[in-house]
Chains A and B, each alone.
Chain A
Amino acid sequence: MQSSHSNRLLGVLDYGMGNLHSVRRAWETTGAKVQLLNDPSEVDRHDALIFPGQGAIVDTMQLLKARGWDHFIREWIQADKPFFGICLGMQALFEFSEEGDTPGLGIFPGRIRRFSFDPASRLKIPHMGWNPVNFGKPTPLATAGVDGSAFYFVHSYYCEPTDPSLIWGETTYGPLSFCSAIARGRVYATQFHPEKSQAKGLALYKGFVDSL
């Protein structure tokens, strides 16, 4: 394991969905260099792509397509190049979202569903706040130091992968255990926000950069 990652270069997709300040700063704490990328032509010798997401998936998909990111992400992931998706950057990888009945990038089979609970349960939507993640699958990204720790979530929709082997982390909300992180090869994505999850979140990002 390297102590410094100053030779690593991460590219953060900046497709116009808003502020990337926290994401950028959080990844910089790993020691890696971080660049914001407006469109795929700016991808050069980047060691990994970071795909942050927030807001509505309909807008996200439109913006991705407008800049040609949709094809680029598909090819990048299919080539098993290092990738980290966050929140909507996880949801958009699937086939279909119930949010606005929106087709996603279709890289992974499965759909994005809205939370739905018995009103008597008084479970709130969005699922907002800190909730533990159990990382059940061994990956090159070491999770020993963060397994079972709470991370920060804010979302009303969750991923339901068709292939259970894709599931990296799981989280319980009320009666539901849902997929809160996925991993395949060198591709990772989380429903929660590591960049808002204090030391544990930064440790997860560090683990990703260590694994490169």
Chain B
Amino acid sequence: MLSVRIIPCLDVDAGRVVKGVKFQDLRDAGDPVDVAKAYQDQGADELVFLDITASSDARETIKDIVEATASQCFMPLTVGGGIRTVENIRDLLNAGADKVSLNTAALNNPNLIAEASGKFGNQCIVVAIDAKRDPERGGWRVYTHGGRKPTDWDAIDWARKAVELGAGEILLTSMDADGTKAGYDVELTRTLSDAVEVPVIASGGAGNLDHLVDVLKRGHASAVLAASIFHFGDYTVPEAKQYLAKHGIPVRL
């Protein structure tokens, strides 16, 4: 049976992991390669690097990090953040990324999804959607620029469109839930997952292991992205998986 995936996400700024990772026995908690290896040893199912580098001078560093990580970690690696063009995508895939995650650039130019998936295959194009409940219009509205700029898109409509254009997976972040540690937006995740054929990774709001159970069971997510609950050592990946297994969710132990 196919397992659900547990995916730690590392924010990388100019080559360093930020939002501190606190593992015991980790030589350098700021080194993305060391952290990636530690998560591989824990049995994480995939990894995501989110490049939050603001300075364009430092943007090249993510490629070196991807290359170093791919040389030592034999697991799927997704890179997101600041990707604008087919050339950016090609560079990252050539450096050893398995998938790239597109967000603002895909909304500005939806054809980028079609172009990239046509060239490199749907399997390596993830479309990341940042969505927030819209009490006036109903449903959830899509935001760009790290959640700062509202768009006209409804999240469900945009997900359908992205998949039609060639997205192989959706990474869905609830802006309402993100950072609250109060749980994922299960309703958003379920509504969106049921609307598209491709897998949906739920993100934003994980505070404890019951939240993972909830979004996987009731939210119909195929995978969960989590940062702080793992980085700060609240739970290890094996602890999370054992907890899910106890609740009847298929995991790779």
Contacts and interface: CB of A to CB of B under 8 A. Distances in A.
Interface of A: 18-19, 21-22, 25-26, 29, 54-56, 122, 124-132, 150, 152-156, 172-173, 195-198, 201-202
Given A54-B121, A196-B74, A129 B94 contact: no
Contacts, number: 94
Contact of B252 (A25, A54, A150, A173): A150
Interface in B85-103: 93-96, 98
A127 B98 CA distance: 15
Given A125-B198, A129-B3, A198-B40, A18 B93 contact: yes
B50 interface: no
A196 B3 contact: no
B252 A130 contact: yes
B185 interface: no
9 contacts: A21-B94, A25-B71, A126-B198, A128-B199, A129-B222, A154-B76, A156-B123, A196-B98, A198-B74
Contacts of A126: 122-123, 168-169, 198-199
Given A126-B168, A195-B74, 10 more contacts: A21-B70, A21-B96, A124-B199, A126-B169, A128-B123, A129-B223, A155-B123, A156-B122, A196-B74, A198-B40
B2 A129 contact: yes
B122 to A, nearest CB: 7
A55 B120 contact: yes
Given A18-B120, A154-B123, A131 B2 contact: yes
